[in-house]
């Protein structure tokens, strides 16, 4: 078994976890490789943010080692590393595939900018000068025109992230749906819309304050967008493969994290 270690978290726990894995490789039958392309499995060491970045780097199975705060995606604690490795070597795990989304920005001058694959969501967010006005279009049909802080297009995995804090629904992470959730809209009705996996969502920016940019954020990473730009979002062909060791349901994970 060849394993690549990925971390962008340099706190004491993450560094000691990386060191512990290196020491364990001397006693357990696995090899740590320096190139992710040579790995059979990738260990994401950090929090959920590190896991999200790792999901964009590879199509190999990923196991999340939680040295951060939240643990919706990073399920293994550093103290359980040895047992996790032994289970992996003995084949006592399964792979859970998660849907991802991708997009592109169609600029007002006709140019396009790719939005990388995202495991949680692609969000349209206001700038510091105020709200953003936009049209939400699904399969070339206008749903609504919004004045709001923004809007989310999220995956089932992302339903417990930004979407949840905006009042959106929680979805089974293995489902294949898109959820459209407005962020603080200036309307009486503030409801999410659940769409099929085959839907194509377009968000057309119609007005911005002081002509300053708004942002298209893929799992929190920003790209500037301007009035007249169209952000097109759809299901990606790429999936994230997550290593699982037991049959805990997502309800168990939600209950533990909420409590």
Question: 143 is written with which tokens?
Answer: 């749903």
Q: Is 40 a catalytic residue?
A: no
Q: How far is CA 170 from CA 47, 196, 199, 239, 240, in A?
A: 20, 15, 19, 20, 19
Choice among 8, 48, 59, 135 that is catalytic? 48
Q: Which residues make beta-bridge pairs with 147?
A: 133
Catalytically annotated residues? 48
């Amino acid at each position: 078994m060849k394993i690549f270690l990925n971390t962008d978290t340099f706190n004491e726990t993450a560094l000691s976890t990386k060191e512990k894995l290196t020491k364990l490789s001397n006693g357990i039958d696995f090899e740590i490789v320096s190139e992710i392309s040579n790995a059979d499995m990738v260990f994401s060491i950090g929090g959920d943010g590190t896991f999200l970045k790792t999901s964009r780097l590879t199509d190999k199975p990923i196991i999340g080692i939680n040295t951060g705060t939240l643990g919706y995606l990073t399920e293994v604690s550093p103290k359980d590393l040895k047992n996790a490795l032994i289970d992996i070597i003995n084949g006592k795990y399964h792979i859970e595939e998660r849907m991802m989304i991708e997009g592109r920005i169609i600029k007002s001058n006709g140019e396009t900018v790719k939005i990388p694959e995202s495991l949680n969501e692609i969000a349209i967010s206001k700038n510091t000068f105020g709200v953003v006005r936009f049209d939400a279009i699904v399969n070339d049909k206008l749903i609504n025109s919004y004045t709001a802080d923004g809007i989310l297009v999220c995956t089932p995995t992302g339903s417990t992230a930004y979407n949840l804090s905006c009042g959106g629904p929680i979805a089974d992470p293995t489902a294949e749906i898109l959820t459209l959730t407005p962020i603080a809209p200036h309307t009486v009705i503030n409801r999410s819309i659940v769409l099929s996996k085959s839907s194509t969502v377009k968000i057309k920016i119609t007005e911005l304050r002081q002509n300053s940019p708004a942002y298209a954020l893929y799992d929190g990473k920003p790209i500037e967008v301007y009035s007249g730009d169209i952000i097109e979002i759809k299901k990606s062909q790429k999936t994230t493969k997550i290593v699982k060791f037991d049959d805990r349901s997502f309800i168990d994970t939600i209950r533990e994290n909420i409590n």
